[in-house]
Amino acid sequence: MRQRRIRWVSAFVALGLVAAACGGDDDDSAEGDDEAPAEGGDFEAQSFDESAQCGTDAYAGNLASIEAVDAQTVKFTLCNPDVAFPSKVAFSALGIFPEEQLEDAASGAIIDSPIGTGPYKLEAWEKGSQIVLTANEDYWGDAPGIPTVVFRWSEESAQRLVELQSGDVDGIDNVGTEDFATVSNDSNLQLIEREPLNVFYLGFNVDKPPFDNEQLRQAIGYAIDKDRIIDNFYPEGSIAADQFLPPGIPQYQDGAETFTYDPDRARELLTEAGYPDGVDLGVLSYRATVRGYLPQPPQVASDIRDQLAQVGITVALDEQEEGAFIDNANTGALSFYMLGWGADFPDATNFWDFHFGVGASPQFGTGFDDMHEVLTEAGSTVDEDERADLYAQANELLLQHAQAIPIAYGGSAVAFDAAVEGAHASPLSNERFAVMSEEGADQLVWMQNGEPSGLYCADETDGEALRVCEQINESLLGYEVGGTEVEPALAEEWESNDDLTEWTFTLRDGVTFHDGSTFDANDVVASYRTQWDAADPRHVGREGLFTYFEALFGGFLNPPPAPAG
Amino acid sequence: MLRFIARRLVSSIPVLFGILLATFVIGRLIPGDPCQAALQERATPEACAEFNSEYGFDDPVFVQFGSYVGDVFRGDLGNSLQERQSVTDLLIDRLPVTLQLSAAALFIAVIVGVPLGVLAGSRHNSKTDVATIVGANLGVSIPVFVLGLILQYVFALQLDDTPLGLPASGQLTAGVIPDPFYEVWGIGHNSLFEFISNIDLLNAVLIWRWDIFVDALQHLILPAVALATIPMAIIARMTRSSLVDVLGLDYVRTARAKGLRERVVITRHALRNSLLPVVTVIGLSLGTLVGGAILTETIFNLTGVGKTLFDAITGRDYFVVQGFTLVVAIGFVVVNLITDIVYTFLDPKVRVD
């Protein structure tokens, strides 16, 4: 009897040991489709198909499904065609994180200590002082030319320049307007101008009289001396705008016809519009906030007012508080205003469609059918030559309808120590420090305008944060060094179906995250799903807004209900 | 003495309460909406309604003040609307920077200003006296930011490759991240230890890293000299005029009549009495330095109290404005108390009274 009891106890103990060995982690995800595959084990592909929600009132986005076809292949399906999808996918806010770190998003660790696959990993962040990155020794690409990059910041351009000149830092962002010559004339430094990727424009709500008069709008276009505005109020490198797209966007048209300064022509058009003795247009609205496309808003507004007065057009200036101004613009409450746009991603659709396409911002009024037609076709065409022709037509239509008068592309520049090789300025402000080197130097110190608020760039919009993130986290695609052309990154190739609604990415093999875990398609799915689904428990960041995801793809799944009014 | 200290502490309470009230009212009077400043383009009416409800900005003003006073007594200074930190954490990060800078500036101001004042006062109406006064006036007249830029130009740029070269920034050399002393010692971490470890010079000594100490000192020289100039000039002038007054008193005449050397007359008999008003000026200077180093911090890229306060005011970050102002005010009160205590040791008449 006793021996039998011993046998039973032994059996139970053995069963218990076997169960313990086979048990999972304590922090199993709630949903089975969030489980991470075992290292070296079978790959359990994840997929999320929300295509049933396309076009419904509950969902405004364009993503329909994300599927890990296998460990090295990810497929995206869209509700509608999007020719700019690769350009969006390359954006910094869509960097790929390890699934495990995303599971822990609620702790906030991802904001201060992101893990990525990039050429640099985060070594230390001394709040208020510096961020130190060190080279990723297991990087899949070329090893960084400089082992350590230190980020520092100062709001004052003069301070940044002094530190560069004294050798305390090796590169600075946003050289002051008055310092371009100083840097250019210093043989120890190199000035690199950043190609403008923004546009400043005068806008009209064409539904509001008297701005419903096309000839009146055209008259204003010919009344503006853009060169005078550039010379007096913009830094070197700024250019008078000749179309709505800035030169850094691939679909920019060389030699496009534009409004030139011609006061006589302006007066003629005013007469044709029914105002032979001039006209009082009420107010010109603007905000005082400095932007890359508009460095001196009050001064520019005053100058435009004065220029319009030369041809008999009277306006009063209406400076509005920033939040109220944007709100008014977004709701179409402004009749005549100054505004601008900086590229979110380097494709014409980011400029044209947002402002003049179907479903565009109401700031310009109801829009024009001919413009809608051209832009819809251009956004669905893969052939670049065909797109070029279509956007040339869009330029002509804008010249005719004149809902907006492009005025300037705001320039800027970076400066480096002359000994830094590979120094460059990115039009998107995402300089890649891994390609830089300096003989005998094991550290490069970069000084920018401000400190990042967080380093989980899925939930950041500030360029100061995005620049740091881009060294740590990579997206499926990237932008060429110093340019805007899309190139492979974590995905080594990609393709679409004919109607641009299915995009398949082949991932690089053998890539590891900074924590040693293997990168695979499930990490891509998790990184996108985390942002896409507002009800996902991992949809947590510094602010939880994921602004760029919403802007790029149109909306979230399960968006939170709008606050009661 | 204890009764004296206790009396002074009790009398400080209404002062602090008044400061609480003043900063609260002034903060609310600043034009602009904290919601607009915090949320900017996301500041829709709905978002602001939620924001104001969360932070109590939609309560009556007296209710807001009552909540704030209650929180302060519980040690809760609130959270920054702009940064992702509590005001207390911000203080732990930023106040040490300013304290270190201010202490260094005051040290320079005293060790240069007092001897200069003694030199001028002991040679009243001489060329030395005139030169010192002119120099002092010059020191008071040059704006700090001008002096700071000049110092940077001379020592950071022109003398860069010489032994006299100094860094343009007040921060440690890029890439240098000293370990906090409590980690090196293996003791527990708390707010006080973190505060102390953020004083670079002190932390470097505590972890026995003289290379970091030297680095911190090199980076501190230019901003400290720039900041020290005005208090140095004031201390020199006050020392001079006070010494001149004391040297005219009967007991000093007696000391001379007894045949004592002039140096002994000044250092052993006159100086101590002439330092009484100087001690007051030094105390006031420290308080001014802590709260007013914004220009120096900006020029030398230091994130201290001054810069934080400036950003908070422009960003309508009420809790930071209130919290930092309160702490600076408490510092003022403490410094004044210490000044009064020092006074009692210097002047027996005060002790007797």
- pLDDT per residue over A511-562, tens digit each? 999 999 999 999 999 999 999 999 999 999 988 889 889 888 988 999 877 5
Give the pLDDT score at A231. Answer: 93
Query: For A19-38, what is the mean pLDDT?
Result: 38
Give the pLDDT score at B42. Answer: 58
Give the pLDDT score at A236. Answer: 83
Which chain A residues are closer than 8 Å to B40 by Cβ? Answer: 322-323
ipTM summary value: 0.83
CB atoms under 10 Å from CB of A7, counted, come to: 10
Give the pLDDT score at A29. Answer: 36
Between B76 and A389, whose confidence is greater? Answer: A389
Query: For A108-121, what is the mean pLDDT?
Result: 96
Residue B352 burial class via C-beta count within 10 angstroms: exposed 0-12, middle 13-18, buried 19 and up? exposed
Which chain B residues are closer than 8 Å to A156 by Cβ? Answer: 298-299, 301
Listing DSSP states for A464-482 in one string gives: HHHHHHHHH---SEEE-TT
Give the pLDDT score at A36. Answer: 40
Do B299 and A545 count as a contact with CB atoms less than 8 A apart? no
If pLDDT is split at 50, 70 and 90, which confidence band does B31 have? low
Range with top average pLDDT, A24-28, A458-462, A491-495, B90-94:
A491-495
Give the pLDDT score at A39. Answer: 44
Above 50 in pLDDT, residue A38?
no
B168 close to A (CB below 8 A): yes
Give the pLDDT score at B307. Answer: 86
Do A163 and B301 count as a contact with CB atoms less than 8 A apart? yes
Do B174 and A159 count as a contact with CB atoms less than 8 A apart? no
Give the pLDDT score at A223. Answer: 97
Give the pLDDT score at A24. Answer: 38
Above 60 in pLDDT, residue A5?
no
- Encode A116-172 in three state secondary structure: CCCCEEEEEEECCCEEEEEECCCCCCCCCCCCEEEEEECCCHHHHHHHHHCCCCCEE
If pLDDT is split at 50, 70 and 90, which confidence band does A50 have? very high
Q: Is A412 helix (H, G, I), strand (E, B) or coil?
A: strand
Above 50 in pLDDT, residue B277?
yes
Listing DSSP states for A13-70 in one string gives: HHHHHHHHHH---TT--SSGGGPPPPTTS-----EEE-GGGTTSTT---SEEEEEEEE
**Residue listed under structure tokens 């609307």:** B81
Q: Which residues contact A195 (CB under 8 A, 6 or more apart)?
A: A246, A247, A248, A425, A427
CA dihedral B291, B293, B297, B300 (to 10 degrees): -160
Query: For A186-193, what is the mean pLDDT?
Result: 95
- pLDDT per residue over A412-444, tens digit each? 899 999 999 999 999 888 899 999 999 999 999
Do A166 and B172 count as a contact with CB atoms less than 8 A apart? no
Give the pLDDT score at A562. Answer: 56
If pLDDT is split at 50, 70 and 90, which confidence band does B17 have? confident
Chain A residues within 8 A (CB-CB) of chain B?
A: 111, 124, 126-130, 132, 148, 150, 152, 154-156, 158-159, 162-163, 165-169, 321-324, 326-327, 443, 445, 453-454, 542, 545, 562-565
Between A335 and B42, whose confidence is greater? Answer: A335
- pLDDT per residue over B220-261, tens digit each? 999 999 999 999 999 999 999 999 888 888 888 888 888 888
Query: And the tokens for A485?
Result: 């052309």
Q: Which of residues 296-325 of B touch A (CB under 8 A)?
A: 298-299, 301, 303
Above 60 in pLDDT, residue A32?
no
Mean pLDDT computed over every residue of chain A: 89
How far apart are the CA of A319 and the nearest CA of chain B, in angstroms? 14
Compute the distance between CA of residue A137 and CA of residue A237 in angstroms, rounded to an integer: 38
**Residue type for B151, please?**
L
Do B41 and A443 count as a contact with CB atoms less than 8 A apart? no
Give the pLDDT score at A35. Answer: 39
Which chain B residues are closer than 8 Å to A562 by Cβ? Answer: 46
**Residue type for A213, please?**
N
Above 60 in pLDDT, residue A16?
no
- pLDDT per residue over A470-511, tens digit each? 999 999 999 999 988 899 999 999 999 998 999 999 999 999
Which chain B residues are closer than 8 Å to A155 by Cβ? Answer: 298
Q: How many CA atoms lie within 13 A of A141 on its CB side?
A: 16
Mutation target to probe the A interface, by most A beta carbons within 10 A, among B36, B41, B158, B320 is B41
Compute the distance between CA of residue B186 and CA of residue B183 in angstroms, rounded to an integer: 5
Q: Is B206 helix (H, G, I), strand (E, B) or coil?
A: helix
| CA-wise closest residue to B131 among B141, B142, B117 | B117
- pLDDT per residue over B35-73, tens digit each? 766 665 556 677 778 878 777 777 888 888 888 888 888
CB pairs under 8 A between A and B: 90
Which chain A residues are closer than 8 Å to B94 by Cβ? Answer: 128
If pLDDT is split at 50, 70 and 90, which confidence band does B4 have? confident
Above 60 in pLDDT, residue A34?
no
- pLDDT per residue over B136-180, tens digit each? 888 888 888 899 999 999 999 999 989 999 999 999 999 999 999
Mean pLDDT computed over every residue of chain B: 86
- pLDDT per residue over A71-106, tens digit each? 999 999 999 999 999 999 999 999 999 999 999 998
B183 close to A (CB below 8 A): no
